C-alpha cells in the first residue's frame, strides 16, 4: 500500500527534524540535534534554537531527500509543524516548508505537533482509531480519545507540570544535566524503585495528571534522609522518581481505556522513550488484553517523520493550509 510522498519539517523546539514519508512508510528521517548547544544553559534557549534551525534546515532537507532517493519533483506535498511550540523555532520550519511548497506549487499542510506524536504509531504498526492515546512530552501530558482520524477529544491533562518537565526539573535538582528524562532513565539502572516513598497524586481525578508536587516530595525526602545519614544511592533515587512518574501515567492511561471502553492504546512524545515506561505499559497491556501501539524510541522524541505521517493523512483528506496561514504557539487538539 502506497500513498502520497510528503516532505515534512519539525522545528517546534530544539530538534530540526526533516523526513520524507510515503503513505505510512518512512523513506528518510534526519534529525539535527541541538542538545549540546543548550546543555550549558540547562534548558532550551528559544533564540539560540531558532538560529540553529535556520543554519541547518537547508542542508538537512537535501539530506532527507537524498537518503530517501526522492527528487523534489516527485513530492505530492509539504508538511510542517504549525504549533504548539516556541514561536521563533516554529517560524523557521513553517516558513521554509511553505516557501518550498509555494515555489514548487505543491499542497502545503500545517500540522499540530501533538497530532504528529499521536499519529507516529502508524509508521510502524496498524494503529487505527477508535483508540485512546497518551501523549507525554516536555510541554504536554494529555489523554486523548481518538474517535476517528481528525476527531479528537481531550479526556484529561496535567493541571501543572508535564511529565517530561518533571523529569527535566528533577534531573536538574539532582545535578544530572539536560535533558533530564534520558539522564534519569540512564541513572536508574540497577536502582530500587521503592527506595523513596513518593506520592501518586490526583487519584480523585482519574484522567488528569499532576507532577509539580513530586519535586517538593523528592527534596523533602532527600533532605531528611541526608540528616538521618540514610541517603540512598543515586540509582535508587532516579529509579524511585521514574517509577512515580510512570505509575501515574500508567494508571491514568488505563483509567481512560476503562472509561471509553476502547481496546487500543497509543502512546507518543519524548517520555515514551523511557525504558521503564515501555516495559510497564507492555506488561499492563498484555495483562488486560489491550492492543498497545508505542513507536520505537526515535519516533517518540521529536522528529520529522511523525509530522509527515499526520501530513499524509491531512493531504489525503484534502485539508490543505492556505498560503496566508501562520504558526500558532497555543495550538490545541480537539
Ligand atoms: O516530545 P519531545 O521530544 O519534545 C516535546 O515535544 O517536548 O519530549 C521531550 C521530553 C523531555 O522532557 C525529555 O526529558 C523527555 O521527553 N524524555 C524522556 C526520555 N527521553 C526524552 N523522559 C524520560 N525518559 C526518557 N528516556
Ligand atoms: Zn514533542
Distance CA 244, CA 197 (A): 9
CA distances from 26 to 15, 80, 172, 319 (A): 18, 16, 35, 21
**pLDDT of 36-73, one tens digit each?**
899 888 889 999 999 999 999 999 999 999 999 999 99
Domain 5-120+299-316 has CATH 3.30.420.40: yes
Ligand 2 center–CA 113 separation, angstroms = 6
Q: Collect the ranges in the chain with pLDDT lower than 70.
A: 1
Lining ligand 1 with CB less than 6 A are: 13, 137-139, 164, 167-168, 179-182, 185, 269-271, 273-274, 301-302
Q: Which ligand is nearest to the CA of 272?
A: 1
Confirm if 275 and 296 have CB atoms less than 8 A apart. Answer: no
Taking CA atoms only, the protein residue closest to ligand 1 atom 2 is 270
- pLDDT of the residue at 1: 57
The grid coordinates of residue 182 equal 534520558
Helices (H), the chain: 35-39, 46-68, 87-104, 113-119, 163-173, 180-187, 212-228, 234-260, 275-288, 297-300, 304-316
Residues whose Cβ atom is located within 5 A of ion ligand 2 = 137, 302
Q: What are the residue boundaries of the structural domains of the chain, listed by start?
A: 5-120+299-316, 128-294
The yes-or-no answer to whether 5-120+299-316 and 128-294 have a common fold is yes
- pLDDT of the residue at 334: 83
- pLDDT of the residue at 98: 98
Matching CATH number, 128-294, of 3.90.226.10, 3.50.50.60, 3.30.420.40, 3.30.1640.10: 3.30.420.40
148-181 burial by CB neighbour count: b if 16+ within 10 A, else e?
A: ebeebeebbbbebbbbbbbbbbbbbebebebbbb
Ligand 2 center–CA 184 separation, angstroms = 18
Peptide bond into 203 cis (omega under 30): no
The grid coordinates of residue 264 equal 487500543
pTM to 2 decimal places: 0.97
Amino acid at each position: 500500500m502506497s500513498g502520497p510522498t510528503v516532505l515534512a519539517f519539525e522545528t517546534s523546539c530544539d530538534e530540526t527534524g526533516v523526513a520524507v514519508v510515503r503513505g505510512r512508510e518512512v523513506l528518510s528521517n534526519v534529525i539535527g540535534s541541538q542538545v549540546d548547544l543548550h546543555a550549558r544553559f540547562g534548558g532550551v534557549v528559544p533564540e539560540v534554537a531558532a538560529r540553529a534551525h535556520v543554519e541547518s534546515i537547508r542542508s538537512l532537507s537535501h539530506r532527507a531527500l537524498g537518503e530517501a532517493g526522492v527528487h523534489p519533483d516527485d513530492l505530492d506535498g509539504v508538511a510542517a509543524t504549525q504549533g504548539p511550540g516556541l514561536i521563533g523555532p516554529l517560524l523557521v520550519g513553517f516558513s521554509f516548508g511553505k516557501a518550498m511548497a509555494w515555489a514548487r506549487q505543491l499542497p502545503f499542510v500545517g500540522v499540530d505537533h501533538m497530532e504528529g506524536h499521536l499519529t507516529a504509531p502508524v509508521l510502524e504498526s496498524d494503529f487505527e482509531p477508535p483508540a485512546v492515546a497518551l501523549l507525554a512530552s516536555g510541554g504536554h501530558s494529555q489523554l486523548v480519545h481518538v474517535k476517528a482520524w481528525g476527531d479528537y477529544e481531550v479526556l484529561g491533562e496535567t493541571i501543572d507540570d508535564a511529565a517530561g518537565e518533571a523529569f527535566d526539573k528533577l534531573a536538574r535538582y539532582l545535578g544530572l544535566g539536560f535533558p533530564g528524562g534520558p539522564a534519569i532513565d540512564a541513572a536508574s539502572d540497577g536502582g530500587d524503585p521503592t527506595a523513596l516513598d513518593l506520592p501518586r497524586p490526583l487519584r480523585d481525578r482519574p484522567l488528569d495528571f499532576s507532577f509539580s508536587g513530586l519535586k517538593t516530595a523528592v527534596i523533602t525526602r532527600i533532605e531528611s534522609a541526608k540528616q538521618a545519614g540514610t541517603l540512598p544511592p543515586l540509582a535508587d533515587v532516579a529509579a524511585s522518581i521514574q517509577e512515580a512518574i510512570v505509575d501515574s501515567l500508567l494508571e491514568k492511561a488505563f483509567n481512560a481505556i476503562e472509561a471509553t471502553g476502547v481496546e487500543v492504546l497509543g502512546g507518543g512524545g519524548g517520555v515514551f522513550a523511557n525504558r521503564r515506561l515501555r516495559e510497564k505499559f507492555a506488561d499492563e497491556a498484555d495483562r488486560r488484553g489491550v492492543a498497545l501501539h508505542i513507536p520505537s524510541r526515535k519516533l517518540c522524541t521529536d522528529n520529522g517523520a511523525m509530522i509527515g505521517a499526520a501530513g499524509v493523512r491531512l493531504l489525503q483528506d484534502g485539508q490543505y493550509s492556505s498560503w496566508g496561514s501562520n504558526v500558532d504557539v497555543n495550538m490545541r487538539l480537539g
